[in-house]
Structure 1
């Protein structure tokens, strides 16, 4: 199994966190779980087997081109056989610039990309398959995203506002409430909650919880800290608070979490 991330061009770096390639080159069955990251992602399954996701105890294949909305609940995933996947991980506020819909509509859903971005993605998919080098594939992705960006210029102001608020929420020394945050930007807290949800799929409170959870995942992956230290460094009130929230996102307590065999740590946006 190989996972590699690539930095976007400067013109797209405000919206795209990274491009990534996931490749499995044997017949081994991979069982894993997808957890909340705070990021919306687009994935192109270019070769071999496609991921399967579990819903109500049944596994089904994902589409060859898919959009992953904000995942809040843990989703079991499985891969059987060789596979090559190319993905785009947007910043939490970034995906809305490129979509025609309210991002919150896709929460806890994995949908076919064509239904969201139109038939233009069919041509992109064929071009990606015909291009072997990763550098060439990234050029294709960026050309596609630049075209989408030009269509939605009017959304940039709101996206920038959400980004600034998000930067406040992720500061280690942030202990303010959302009413005071909104007033600093000359808007009501109700309006801030509305545009935050539309552009990220999350409320400010839920985003803060996910960011804290992802911090703890990265620290667990290091394998050299106690649960008390992880809780403190991740911003939890105490260890019990940490355990309770961690279990709500993963279905397991931190002490029972198998970090060595989880792709969630490898692909964490907080690493």
Structure 2
């Protein structure tokens, strides 16, 4: 399997973390588990392979044009056949610039983008299938995104405020006092909760937990300090609290994760 990453154009850099192309030329199936990342994605399947995701312990085929909502718990996936996938990874808040639906509606679910926005999704998918040129595919994606961004300009002010708040939280993973966060931005904790959930699908508490979890993954991958130090650096009061949160996001303990870091999770959450 191979991942290639592409940077967005300057005008889209505030909204798009990166684009990626995933290719697998093996027919061998595999299973993996996706962890919460705090980001949302749109994925265009351009190959003949099949992806399935688990819903209530049963696997279902994912749509050809996938909208990944916020994943807040471990999500089992499995693959069959050869794949070519073109993905758009949004920042935590930035999907709201491009879609009119309340973002929380998509949580822990892989939706069909065609069902959400209609024919523009199908037209773009057909255009992507018609060309094999990677640069042309990225150009088509950017044209599509810019058109939707222009059509939703009226929403920008509130989403910009959400982006500013989330950035301040991410700068300090140990900050978990939401009252202090709200006070710094001149709003009430209640309005903070409403504003962030409406535009990210996450409560401030959930965002903070996922942010700390993602930070802990980076520290664990370095494998150069004990879990007690990692727990402290991530803002946990003790190691047991850290392990409990970690298991809720992965289904395994930090030590078990370290022993079995999967290639999909290493790459998908860059």
TM (norm. structure 1) is 0.94
Asked whether the 8 Å contact 1:24–1:82 carries over to 2, the reply is yes
Structure 1 residues 221 and 177: CA distance shift in structure 2, 3 A = closer
Aligned-partner Cα distance in 1 for 2:163–2:118: 27
Tell whether the 8 Å contact from 1:50 to 1:64 is kept in structure 2 after alignment: no
Using the TM superposition, give the Cα deviation of residue 137 of structure 1 relative to its aligned residue in structure 2, in angstroms: 0.8
Alpha-carbon distance in 2 for matches of 1:109, 1:267:
17
CA contact (8 A) 1:220 1:259 kept: no
Indicate conservation of the 8 Å contact 2:66/2:111, yes or no.
Answer: yes
Does structure 1 residue 35 correspond to structure 2 residue 13?
no
Residues 110-125 of structure 1: pairs in structure 2 closer than 5 A: 110-125=110-125
Q: Say if 2:41 and 2:68, in contact at 8 Å, map to a contact too.
A: yes
Equivalenced residue count is 269
Once residues 6 and 243 of structure 2 are traced to their aligned partners in structure 1, the CA distance between those partners, rounded to angstroms, is 33
Q: Is the 8 A contact 2:170 2:211 kept in 1?
A: yes
Measured in 1, the distance between the counterparts of 2:53 and 2:193 equals: 31
**Does the 8 A contact of 2:47 with 2:83 survive in 1?**
yes
Query: How much does 1:217 deviate?
Result: 1.5
Aligned position for 1:200: 200
Give the root-mean-square deviation of aligned CA atoms: 1.7
Any idea what SS the aligned residue of 1:31 has?
strand
Moved more, 152-161 or 220-229: 220-229
User: Would you say 1:158 and 2:175 are equivalent positions?
Assistant: no
Give the Cα–Cα distance (whole angstroms) in 2 for the partners of residues 107 and 252 of structure 1. Answer: 22
Change over 3 Å in CA distance of 1:119–1:192 after alignment to 2: same
Contact 2:173–2:208 (Cα < 8 Å) also in 1: no
Per the alignment, residue 213 of structure 2 pairs with 213
Residue of structure 2 equivalent to 1:169: 169
In structure 2, do the counterparts of structure 1 residues 16 and 137 end up closer, same or farther at CA, with 3 Å as the change threshold?
A: same
SS in structure 1 opposite 2:186? coil
Counterpart secondary structure, 1:175: coil
- Correspondence for 1:96: 96
Aligned to 1:83: 83
Q: Sort the Cα spacing of 1:220 and 1:179 in 2 relative to 1 into closer, same or farther, 3 A.
A: closer
2:145 maps to what in 1?
A: 145
Match of 1:55 in 2: 55
Q: 1:176 Cα shift?
A: 6.4
Q: Deviation of residue 260 (structure 1)?
A: 3.2
Distance in 1 of aligned mates of 2:222 and 2:24 = 24
Question: How far does the alpha carbon of each residue in 1:169-215 deviate from its partner, in whole angstroms, 9 at most, with x for none?
Answer: 11237636333333333332222211100111001111010011111
Give how far 1:112 is off.
0.4
Q: Report Cα offsets for 1:35-84 as digits up to 9, x if no partner.
A: 11101110111112121111222211100001010011111100112111
Q: Residues 259, 163 of structure 1: CA spacing in aligned structure 2 closer, same or farther, 3 A cutoff?
A: farther
The alpha-carbon distance between structure 1 residues 253 and 140, as it changes in their structure 2 partners (threshold 3 A), is same
Partner in structure 1 of residue 266 of structure 2: 265
Which moved further from structure 2: 222-231 or 41-50? 222-231
Q: Show CA shifts across 1:96-144 (max 9, x none).
A: 1101101011111111001112211111001111121221111111100
